[in-house]
Every structure is written in C-alpha cells, then in structure tokens.
Amino acid sequence: MKYALILTFSFLSFTLFAQKPCEYSANVTDSIGTYKSTPAYLISEKVFAGNSNYIFYSLALTDGLPTLNVQLIQKSKDFLKANCFDKDSKIYLQLQNGKIITLIHIDQESCGSMVRDDKGFDNRVKTGIFMFMKDNFQDLKTSPISLMRIKYLTDVEDYVFKKEFTAELDGKIYRPETYFIDNLRCIE
C-alpha cells in the first residue's frame, strides 16, 4: 500500500511539473550553419479608440548565438509615429526579483515599413533583433518580468507586463510575465 501511494504521488508530481515540448517556427541546419526560432508570442496588446498596438517576441538561436526577435505592429487610421531601432537601442527588462536585464540591439537601423490595408488602416511593422548578455540567462529563467522599457533612436516607451490576458486579436490566453521562464530552454 505504501509503495502504491508513493508511486501515485511520483506520477502526479511528474505530470504537474512536466514542461511542454518546445515548438519551432524554423529549425534549419545546412552548410552555412544552424538556425532555430520559436513561434511569435504576443507579449503586449493595446486596443483603444481605433488604434491597435501589438508586441510579439520570438527566441532564436543562430549558430549558438541566442537572440530575442521583437516585432511591433501598430494599426491606426491616424498618423503613426515612427520609432526607429538603431545601434544604441536597448530593451530593459525589470524582473520581479528587482534585477534589471539589458538586451542590446544589433547594429542595424530599422524604422519598419508602412502598409495600408483594404479597410483604410495604416499598419507599421517594425522588427528588431536583440542580443542577450552572457550573465542574463539564469535570472530570466527563474524570475517573472514585471516591466519592459524599449529605448528607440529618439524615444523611450514602457510596458507593464500582465500575468495573463486574453487577446482581442485571436482570443487566446497569453502569459507574458513568464515568457522567458517557459521558453529560454528551447534555445539553449
């Protein structure tokens, strides 16, 4: 009886704490090198007065170099301000344990591209690739994120991370606070 109880407890512990398998939008190895990328994940959504702003993260591993790919999408019928990424752009992540993690943008200027859709909305799509510093991984794997600050070429924006939200975009539940805890293992 005691062994059955221990076996049942062990089985329940494994299923409760089991991590879901990693998903990849790209996983390529060829003569040039290797590249893995996780699917885009919605981190922030602001929908107000006909304007929409979305921020997506994906993690990539290119020949052993881990990076964070950030995609910002703005949608509006009004004028859209162009915030550009440059060599001095950074992302600051404030963790719930009080530490601040800095990610550095690659040396490539990007102001995004503007696309007008069939409903008369202007859509600006901007992508940035940010590199992790060597000592950032351990803290990101153990502590949730409470705030993100993006430093652009001429501006700074802050985003408060939610524990969980249901996106108006697709109706799915997202957990931005624990994005790195759940996904960093996929690019190690």
More confident residue, 98 or 112: 98
Find, among 92, 78, 84, 94, the residue nearest to 127 by Cα.
Answer: 84
The two three-digit tokens of residue 129, written as one number: 């690739």
pLDDT tens digits for range 23-81: 888 888 888 888 899 999 999 999 888 889 999 999 999 888 899 999 999 998 887 77
Residue 54: predicted pLDDT = 95
For residue 167, pLDDT over 70 is answered with yes
**Residue % of the chain over a pLDDT of 70:** 90
The two three-digit tokens of residue 81, written as one number: 């301000």
Q: What is the mean pLDDT of residues 155-168?
A: 92
Length of the chain, please? 188
**Residue 50, strand partner residues:** none
Is 28 exposed, middle or buried, given 0-12, 13-18 or 19+ CB atoms closer than 10 A?
Answer: exposed
Whole-angstrom Cα distance, residue 150 to residue 52? 18
